Each structure stands twice: as C-alpha cells, then as structure tokens.
Structure 1
Amino acid sequence: MSSQKFNLFSFSGKMKVMHLSWMAFFITFVVWFNAAPLISVIADSIGLTSSQIKTLLILNVALTIPARVIIGMVTDRFGPRRVYSLLLGLCSIPCFIFAVGTSFEQLALARFLIGFIGAGFVIGIRMVSEWFPAKELGVAEGVYGGWGNFGSAAAAFTLPAIALAFGGQDGWRYAIGLTGLMSLVFAFIYYFNVTDTPKGSTYFKPKKAGAMEVSSKGDFVLLVVMKLPMYATLGLLAWKLSPAGVAMLSANMVNGIYLLLFAIFAADFLQTFSVNKQVFTGKVPEFERYQFKQVAVLNVLYFSTFGSELAIVSMLPLYFAETFELGMAQAGMVASSYAFMNLMSRPGGGWLSDRFGRKSTLLILTAGLALGYFGVAQIDSSWGLPFAIAMVMLCSFFVQSGEGAVFAAVPLIKRRLTGQIAGMTGAYGNVGAVFFLTVYSMVSTQTFFYVIAASAVFGFFTLFFMTEPKGHIAEVNDDGEVTLISVS
C-alpha cells in the first residue's frame, strides 16, 4: 500500500491511480448511457417503432449482469490495468457500429454488446483496493464510484448539445461516435499510466480460475442460492424481449434464449462444484477461510441501493412531470438532483465507514434508506416542488451513501477474490433495477416506493448476520508464502 497522504487535489502515486480509475469508470457510463438522451432523435432518423425503442433500451442492460460476474473473474486473474484497458478499447467497437448503423438489427446488436461496458465499475474496485490502506479505502472507493457514476448524468446533459452542434438529422451519430473515440483513446492512457499494485506489493490471484471459491458446505449452498436471482432476472429480460412482453423477438428465439440460460446455469453450477471440491473434503486451511454470508448481505444491500437508484433515475422525470405538471425538459432538470448527489454522497458513505465502522454505518444508512423511500412515497402535488426536491435529495443521500458503504466493505472480505465479490455484488444492483422497474410497471407509484422501502427493511435485518471486518486477511503468494493484509 502507498503511504502517501490522501489528498483529492494530488495527481501522483495512489491518487493518480484513483483519479484515472474514476475517469475510466466515468467514460464507461457515458458510453453505456449514450443512447438514452438521444433516443427520440435516433428513432426519427432510422424510423424506429415504439416497440423497437423499448427493445433497444432492454438490450442495453441485458448483458451487464453476466458481464459483471465474468469481468470480476477476469480482473482477479489478469489484473485491473490490462482488463480495464481492454474493456475500454473493445467496447468502442460496438459504439462505432451503433453510430453508423442504418437498420434496427444493427442498432440492436450494437446496444446488446455495449451492455458489456457496464461491468467496468467492478475493475476499478479491485484497482483502488490495491492502492489504498483500509483506513482510507471507504472514501477512495466512494470517490471512484460516485464521481465515475456521474458519467450517466454527464451524457444526458452534453450529448444532445453535441448532436445539435453537428446539426442535421445525423448529428446524433457524431455524438455517439465521439463517446466511442473517448473510450478508445482512454484505453491507451489508462494502460500506460497505472500499475496493478504499488511498487514492491504482491498482486494476489485466485487459486483456481473460474467460479468463486468458498470455505464450507453451507457457504457453497448459499453461493448457489444467491446465483438464482441473477438467472431469474436474465429470464425475465428474455421474456420482455418476447411478443408477450414489450418487444418483438419470435417465440422460438426466446425459447432458445431460455434453453441457453439453463445450459449456462448448469455449466456454472458444475464449475462452482469443481472449484470448491475441497469444501466437501474439509481440506480448506483455516487461515484461508472467509464467510460467504458477508458477500450475501452486501448483495442484498446493493440490490436495494444501486438497484433502486437505477430504477428511480429511469422514472423520476416522468414522476415529477405528472405530479407537478412540469414540462419534460424542466422535469428532467429537477430529477437530475437525484443523480447529482452521487458526487458527495457516495464518498461520504465511504468516509463514514472508514471513521465509524462498516457494519454500524450500513445499519444507520439502510435505516435511513427505508425511511427516505417511505417519505418519498408521501409526496403529492400539495407538497410544493421545493419540498419534494428536498425529500428526494435526502433520500438519495442515504441511497448513494449506502452504495459507498457497501463497497467500502467489499475489498475487506477476501483480497484475491475482490473482483469476483465486486462483480456479484454489482450484478445484484442490476438485478434490483430490473426487479423494481418490473414492479413499477405493475403497481401505483406510491406502492413502488413502498416496495423499495420494504427491501431496505429486509436488508437492515440481514445486516445482523454480518460480521464487522477486523484484523487481517491471510493470502498466499505465488511462492507459497502466507501474507497478512490489515483490514482494520
């Protein structure tokens, strides 16, 4: 770990790595959400139907859930420097394809592949954890996550203006293409300006490539159970792409997707069993054990925090427009107050975790999250717009601080598995978003907010099963030597 003092205005040593990492994450979110603010212009240019537009929006997130898990595995194995650079470079290709696309089929394929860049967040979690000591890790991960996550808001503000500046019906192509160029250029900047660890430090890798390692039979069962919601969500997305859902894939194609998902799940289960054979023979050394329940609790909390954030960002402009009779442009500006809170709230949640402990901070923030959404559910036109905005911003503080506190704890569970743990926890955020948006399509807006509040209450009670990270993590390097890493 670097002993350099934490100074946000520094751009050397560990601070340089953190700044370059959040910039990489920022660009991935700009690319990932580059179509949403331009979708109406794109639809007019290509001649898309309402059903085709919905299909593109679904395809944009379909690949992100498995991608986060896969990228987590690859990051732990090959290091964040190479993986982040490769992801930025490769994902610029479908971005360019989308920019020059002239048919729905081309746009659909490009949007599906671009969803992979949504996994970039996971890589930086491992990178930052390698450079910062435990006492600074929460705020460092918070800055990385909060500032990088702002890329979606930046895309919404800037891309329409860029498209307009280029003029004509095809101005959107230049705006989309520019985001791809940013991703490609920054791939080289990142690769040549960071290293996986400080000089002299060891980069610990999983003992076996593939599925996540666990330490006991009970943890193995819990790992399999925690994978089920991810596959169920992919099945739900497949249904949404069917004629019975909102999109337009044929029934035979959707059935093929279901069959493929089942085959992937079966293969995943077999690989998980193969990697964890030792738990059935009792041959896991005591110093290498960790509690998978820690991961499960953080999954549940990220389901409620980041899952609700993605859902709220999607519906909040329309909610403000309908509740307070605003124009969509004005409603969008007002709703952006929710996303703006990321810049300070997420680092704030990490700082609170560093200062007051991971578990106690999560308990307070999760309770605030539940109360916040309960309060938002009470908003109606009688509140007045300023009070409604204040309530939403207060709620978003607990949501995004909770996200920061979750990822302040993730790197302290098992160092060599940080990428995989971050990948699974991050995937649960997407699972939560799909779940909450599905609920939103079926119930009233007030009930929708109550459901999110109830999920936070459930997360609050799961926290009592979490153990405060303290002491040391034991890892074994390539030479077979045991190293103790401080987590307190």
Structure 2
Amino acid sequence: MLRKIQLPLQTLNLVVGFMIWVLISSLLPFIKEDIAIPDNQLALVTAIPVILGSILRVPLGYYANQFGARKIFLISFVLLLFPVYYISVANSLADLLVGGLFLGIGGAVFSVGVTSLPKYYPKEKHGFVNGIYGAGNLGTAISAFAAPVVATKLGWSTTVQLYLIILGIFIIANFLLGDKQETKVKTPLLEQIKGVYKNEKLWLLSLFYFITFGSFVAFTIYLPNFLVANFGLDKVDAGFRTAGFIVIATLMRPIGGWLADRFHSLILLMFVFGVYTVSAMILSFAPSIGWYTFGCLTIALCAGIGNGVIFKLVPMYFSKQAGIVNGIVSAMGGLGGFFPPIILTLLFNLTGHYAIGFMALSEVALASLILVVWMYFQGKMSLANEVINHTVEGIMITDMSGKIISVNPAFTKITGFEAAEAIGKNPNILKSNKQPKTFYEDLWRSIETNGFWQGEIWNSRKDGEEYLQWLTISAVKNDAGEVVQYAGMFSDISNHKNKKA
C-alpha cells in the first residue's frame, strides 16, 4: 500500500519544497515596502535561494539512493523550519540574503523524487512518472498566486509564518507514509562520479536542463517584480500572470514525459529549442504586454515539455548512476535560474533595456538545437555501428581504390586478420588460387551493371587455410548516385558444404 502512495506523496513534497523555494520572490513587492533594498540588489535577493537549491541537488540525489526518499525529505523539511522563521522576522537586506540562501533546500529536494520514483515503475513509464513528479513545480505557482493575496490581508511576515504549519504537516506525513523499505543503492559517490563525468551526454543533458528548467526558475523569480516595474501592473495582477506562466510550464511537464515515452525524445527536444529560439527573439524586441505575454507563455510551454523529456533521457543513458546524474543535471537546471535575473539586471543598468539578455537566450537555444540534431544523428550512427559490430557475418568496407577502410569483429573471427592488419590493405590478402581470372572479371562486371554481386567464393584465412565463403559485395552510392565505397558481407559455409557432402 505504501508503495502506491509514494508518487502522490513525493509529488506533494516537491510542491511544498518549491512553494518555500520562491517565497521571497513571490512576496518581494511587499517585503521591499518594509525593508530597504537597493534596485541593483533586487535580482540578487530573488536569485540567492537558487544557489543552495542547485548545489545541494547533487548530494541529495546521491543520498536518496543511499538512504531512501523518506529520510531525505524528512531531514530537508525539518531544516527548512529555521530559515522560514528567520525570514518571517527579517528586518534587513542581510537577513533576507542569509535566510534566502537556506531556503534553497526547498528547491534541492527535486533530485530526491526523480531518483526514488523510477524504482517503483517499469522503464516504459519513467518519462510519465517523472513528469507527474515534476508537476510539483506547481508549488511555485501556488506561492506566486496565493502569497500576495494572503499578504494583502495579513501582511508578508504572517504569510511567511503560515508556511511553518505546512512544513509541520508534511514532516508528519513523511514520517508516517514514507516508504521505509525503498530499494537502496550503495555505490560509492566517487565511483559513480568517475563512471559519468567523461560522458558527453551528461554535460549535454545538463546544458539542455540549464536552459529549460533554468528559464522556468528565472521567469518565476523575475516576473513578479518585472511586471510591476516595467509594465506598471498591480502586484496581485503580476502574481496572477506569473502563476499562469508556472501553471502552463508545470502542466506541460508530465505531457512532455508522456510524449517522450511514445516518441523519439531528441526529436521532441528539436521542437522545444526551435520554438525557444523564436520566442526569445520576440522578447528581445521589448514588445507590448500582449506580445510579451505570448513570448513568455510559449517559453513556458517549451520549458515544461523540455523538462519532462530530459528526465526521460537520464535513466535511458545512465541507468546505474541515475542518482548522481539526476543530481548533477537538476543542479545545472537550478543554476540556470540563478544567473539570468542577475545578468538581465546588469544589462538593464548598462543599456537601459533587456533586449541583449533575451537575444542571448535565443542564441543559446539555437546552439542547443544544433547539439540535439548532432546527438540524434550520432545516435543513429552508433546504432548502426552496434548492429555491424554484433552481426555474425564478416563485414569489410573498401574505398574506390580498393583499400580496406573498415572491418567488424566477425571479420577477424572468420579470417584471422586483426583490424589493424587488414585496414589499408587490398582485399587480395584474402584471395585463394581456386578461382580463375575470368571469375573476378565476371564478379566486377555484375557489380558495375547491377550494383552488387552475390555467390560462393573460395578465400584464404591468415594462416593460409582455404575455406568457402558466401559473399555479397554491394556498391555504396552517395546522394548524387556516384559509387563511393564497396561493402562486402560474408560468412563461412565450409562446414555446411561438408555436411551436405
């Protein structure tokens, strides 16, 4: 029974963690009425919770495998009691920075669920399950929407203290309902890191999540104050609009995971980054509130789909190191939310507008699109190489001059020639003396006329033993129809012939 409630329980845990993570940014228009915050420090105040929320994702993902999600969520929520109360009584910028830093624990719990929940479901459901869990992002929308409304009636300090009650409820819920029997993975941390840090897919997925989740976090903490300052909107209205952005991004996350379970994940990411590129360009032209809303909501759509797709890819590429990789990728996503608000503020102070910052997002999205296309075609080539390397038939490829340029392991097994001994040589190293010259002339005439030749042929192994092959030679053509290579596929049929005899 406890296993069945882990998905809803851990998703609600993430909702609470994210509600707390964006607590300061949601209430900043109210807080700055009581606490003097210089304009050039506003972005830092809202971004500071992202630091610890990103860095801690790596150890929390690892320890979730070691000790189980129940213990990690419990400890995290107990620790959050202290910074939440500290912020509720804050009266200086320093208080907000110190308390905000430790609010990052709320964002760090993300890596706990994405590490724990796949243990309860088959692989074909991992995308959708992680997408459902990722919908816990909705916690940011709840704070963005509800916190300003409550603060209007009760004041921001009392509003913050209400979060202590929510934390208390979930501490009890995890203690009673968390799974004590969760499967543990005890692989040492350094061993896991050594197993993944040289893999380029780790860093590409980190870059993609840096953009998709980073933009989600950045817009979440940047929009409430920006909409008030730049478009003169009411504080509650700005909160509603920010909540709308968050809701769309959150709802699209499980849809992104569901789509990734059914379609090619990299093709979905091509769509995501293509639309990102165009949307960020729209924002860079400092549009009206209507076009700005369109650009933001389109980014929300893509961010949600992208977030869901990426955490389908992590267990596909890193099934044995999912804990540490989930931590690293999600940490990079969190850091992706830290830098943009600060950079946008810095650029605004220098230029008087945000155009360069949004154009930079567009260019990074375009670069990511190119990298996804590269991953897609590299994956196709890798699959083809896997097929070639594991087929039982020997394969030999030559260039137009007749030099061998590639062989597979079965070639070595059948002929005795290692790849290094065969590459660069002419195929006549395999030639026997059992066929007359006219046999080879007919063979090449067939290739020139029909594009291939197929039949029995006597060849020699490295040790001089002659054996009978079934050989197919095909001309490989480019898009212009010109022959560029020749590919031979063969098998040893000597034993088959002997049995027949």
Residue number among 345, 368, 371 corresponding to 1:459 in the alignment: 368
Q: Is the 8 A contact 2:148 2:235 kept in 1?
A: no
Counterpart check, 1:436 vs 2:335: no
Q: For residue 185 of structure 2, give the secondary structure of its aligned residue in structure 1.
A: coil
Give the Cα–Cα distance (whole angstroms) in 2 for the partners of residues 196 and 141 of structure 1.
21
2:172 corresponds to which residue?
188
Give the Cα–Cα distance (whole angstroms) in 1 for the partners of residues 233 and 158 of structure 2.
31
Change (3 A) 1:93 1:184: farther
Change (3 A) 1:163 1:436: closer
1:398 corresponds to which residue?
302
Counterpart check, 1:163 vs 2:151: yes
Q: Is the 8 A contact 2:65 2:116 kept in 1?
A: no
1:73 corresponds to which residue?
62
1:435 maps to a residue whose letter is F
Residue number among 97, 109, 113 corresponding to 1:124 in the alignment: 113
Residue number among 83, 93, 107 corresponding to 1:94 in the alignment: 83
How far is the alpha carbon of 1:405 from its aligned partner? 0.6
Give the Cα–Cα distance (whole angstroms) in 2 for the partners of residues 27 and 33 of structure 1.
10
Give the Cα–Cα distance (whole angstroms) in 2 for the partners of residues 165 and 311 of structure 1.
28
Give the Cα–Cα distance (whole angstroms) in 1 for the partners of residues 226 and 152 of structure 2.
27
| Greater Cα shift, 362-371 or 448-457 | 362-371
2:218 corresponds to which residue?
311
1:399 maps to a residue whose letter is A
Change (3 A) 1:193 1:438: same
Q: Which residues of 2 match residues 241-280 of structure 1 at below 5 A?
A: none
Query: 1:46-85: CA deviations, max 9, x gaps?
Result: 5666677665434323322321122222222222221112
Change (3 A) 1:347 1:431: same
Structure 2, unmatched stretches of 5+, are 384-501
How far is the alpha carbon of 1:307 from its aligned partner? 1.4
Give the Cα–Cα distance (whole angstroms) in 1 for the partners of residues 210 and 93 of structure 2.
32
| Greater Cα shift, 403-412 or 459-468 | 459-468
2:185 corresponds to which residue?
204
Give the Cα–Cα distance (whole angstroms) in 2 for the partners of residues 106 and 42 of structure 1.
12
Query: 1:81-129: CA deviations, max 9, x gaps?
Result: 2111211122122212322345555444322222222201110111221
2:394 corresponds to which residue?
none
Q: Is the 8 A contact 2:144 2:240 kept in 1?
A: no
Give the Cα–Cα distance (whole angstroms) in 1 for the partners of residues 43 and 284 of structure 2.
27
Q: Which has the higher strand share?
A: 2
2:368 maps to a residue whose letter is G
How far is the alpha carbon of 1:16 from its aligned partner? 2.0
Give the Cα–Cα distance (whole angstroms) in 1 for the partners of residues 366 and 180 of structure 2.
38
Q: How many positions carry a matched residue from both structures?
A: 374
Q: Is the 8 A contact 1:34 1:179 kept in 2?
A: no
How far is the alpha carbon of 1:355 from its aligned partner? 0.7
Change (3 A) 1:436 1:25: same
Counterpart check, 1:175 vs 2:159: yes
Counterpart check, 1:18 vs 2:7: yes
Q: Which residues of 2 match residues 12-411 of structure 1 at below 5 A?
A: 16-45=5-34, 56-101=45-90, 105-146=94-135, 148-166=136-154, 171-195=155-179, 202-206=183-187, 208-210=188-190, 212-215=192-195, 220=197, 222=198, 292-317=199-224, 326-378=233-285, 380-381=287-288, 385=290, 388-411=292-315
Q: For residue 173 of structure 1, give the secondary structure of its aligned residue in structure 2.
A: helix
2:204 maps to a residue whose letter is V
Q: For residue 214 of structure 1, give the secondary structure of its aligned residue in structure 2.
A: helix
Give the Cα–Cα distance (whole angstroms) in 2 for the partners of residues 100 and 325 of structure 1.
29
Q: Is the 8 A contact 2:275 2:302 kept in 1?
A: yes
How far is the alpha carbon of 1:192 from its aligned partner? 2.2
TM-score by length of 1: 0.68
Query: 1:364-398: CA deviations, max 9, x gaps?
Result: 322232233234435623xx72x553443233211
Q: Is the 8 A contact 2:283 2:358 kept in 1?
A: yes
| Greater Cα shift, 337-346 or 102-111 | 102-111
Give the Cα–Cα distance (whole angstroms) in 1 for the partners of residues 32 and 319 of structure 2.
46
Q: Is the 8 A contact 1:305 1:402 kept in 2?
A: yes
Q: Is the 8 A contact 2:250 2:304 kept in 1?
A: no
Give the Cα–Cα distance (whole angstroms) in 2 for the partners of residues 99 and 318 of structure 1.
20
Give the Cα–Cα distance (whole angstroms) in 2 for the partners of residues 389 and 398 of structure 1.
14
Q: Is the 8 A contact 2:111 2:326 kept in 1?
A: yes
Query: 1:146-185: CA deviations, max 9, x gaps?
Result: 2x1111121122223333444xxxx433221221231232
Q: Is the 8 A contact 1:301 1:459 kept in 2?
A: yes
Give the Cα–Cα distance (whole angstroms) in 1 for the partners of residues 57 and 315 of structure 2.
16
1:401 maps to a residue whose letter is I
TM-score by length of 2: 0.67
